[in-house]
């Protein structure tokens, strides 16, 4: 966990320095996209519909990109990008331009959202439900489907996991 945080911070600092050096405004100061050469592993498998997948969410995404890549490769899908927004919440994703930007840029057919870790101790689930619904609406408006991975809670949560599950039903996996 410490390594992935340091790596993401390093990438964010590098991007910030590049934007300063070029004297241009960073399009989205709140998120950093981590792309890298995918593992060169051969997988066999097929599904009837090949999805264009984008993994998005809080800092958990940095570590999840490899198993998501493996899932995609095994099933004939393509992982387009992993967008990691450290310390983000459902409110950040619902009301910033970050989600809209990456949906337009990559045009995924399936978005895997993994957010909620920073809301484990939050108790206002009414507002969180609204944020989750807004995220889902934005993704649906782009033409993509959404699947939610629950946060890897280190303590008993105050309701965020159940709220995500209630909103998403079978399109939710409790990690």
Mean pLDDT, each 10-residue run in order, the chain (175 residues): 40 52 50 46 51 96 92 92 96 97 97 96 96 98 96 93 96 92
In the chain the first and final C-alpha atoms are separated, in Å, by: 16
> In Å, how far are 19, 83, 95, 141, 171 from 167, measured between CA atoms?
38, 22, 18, 17, 9
Give SS3 for 157: coil
Please count the other Cβ atoms lying within 10 Å of the Cβ belonging to residue 56. 27
Provide the whole-model pTM: 0.74
């Amino acid at each position: 966990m410490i390594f992935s945080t340091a790596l993401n911070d390093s990438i964010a600092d590098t991007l910030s320095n590049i934007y300063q050096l070029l004297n241009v405004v960073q399009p989205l100061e709140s998120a950093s996209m981590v792309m890298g050469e995918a593992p060169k592993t051969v997988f066999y498998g097929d599904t009837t519909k090949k999805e264009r997948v984008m993994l998005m969410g809080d800092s958990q995404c940095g570590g999840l990109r490899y198993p998501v890549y493996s899932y995609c490769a095994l099933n004939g899908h393509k992982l387009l990008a992993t967008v990691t927004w450290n310390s983000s919440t459902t409110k950040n994703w619902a009301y910033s331009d970050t989600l809209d930007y990456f949906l337009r840029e990559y045009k995924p057919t399936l978005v895997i959202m993994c957010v909620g870790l920073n809301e484990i101790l939050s108790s206002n689930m009414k507002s969180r439900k609204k944020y989750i619904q807004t995220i889902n609406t934005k993704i649906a408006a782009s033409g993509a489907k959404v699947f939610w991975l629950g946060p890897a809670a280190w303590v008993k949560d105050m309701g965020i996991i159940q709220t995500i599950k209630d909103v998403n039903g079978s399109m939710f996996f409790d990690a």
